[in-house]
Amino acid sequence: MKFQHIFPQTLGIANYPDASDLAMQVGRYMMQTESFLYNPHQLPIMKDFMQWMDLEVNEYAKKMQFPDDYECTESWLHDYRLNTYQPWHSHAGNVISVVYIIIADENVSSPLYFRNPVNDMMNPMNANMDPDVAPVNTTWYNSEQMGYPSVTGTLFIFRSYLEHSIKLKDNTNRRIIIACNYNRINTIP
């Protein structure tokens, strides 16, 4: 028998080579400002990082066989405090979104969860997908959601319609991320 995969979800994952330097600069910067900033991709301390991320996003777009080039159109910098979280959400009206883990302790930070956009109501695996209930032996073939560890320096690139979330932060360790939306530079005539 042959198997073909239709309508797969593609997640790009990359690691920033200067992650420690960026973490130090952004960590210091966030100590002097609010815990949430809108459009931080325009800050001077983000310049080198944004150039790298733009290249990674455009490589993802090319692998997806998208004909256009993409640029960051908006961004958010979150320095998560105790008892904060990010509920399930998507970035409607955009093509590609990213989450980059600037600072996190992978031993205590919530994983970054992605939800399968296809809801299989019949649940052939008899799986309880609540990660707090019990570990489930699932793969991307049969899962409602997948969690990826929050490791400092990791970039996640995905289609903007893909829902994602993090659980409640129940510790005082730092967790800083930048999320961005990318849209095409070249418009289709």
Tell me, what's the pLDDT at 187?
64
Taking the whole predicted model, whether its pTM rises above 0.75 is answered as yes
The answer to whether 88 and 164 have CB atoms below 8 angstroms apart is yes
The Cα 124–Cα 159 span in angstroms is: 26
Say which residue, 150 or 3, is predicted with more confidence.
150
The answer to whether 170 and 81 have CB atoms below 8 angstroms apart is no
Q: How many residues make up the chain in this entry?
A: 189
Tell me, what's the pLDDT at 27?
95
pLDDT tens, 76-103? 999 999 999 999 999 999 999 999 999 9
Which residue type does 131 have? P
The Cα 130–Cα 149 span in angstroms is: 16
State yes or no: pLDDT of 36 exceeds 90: yes
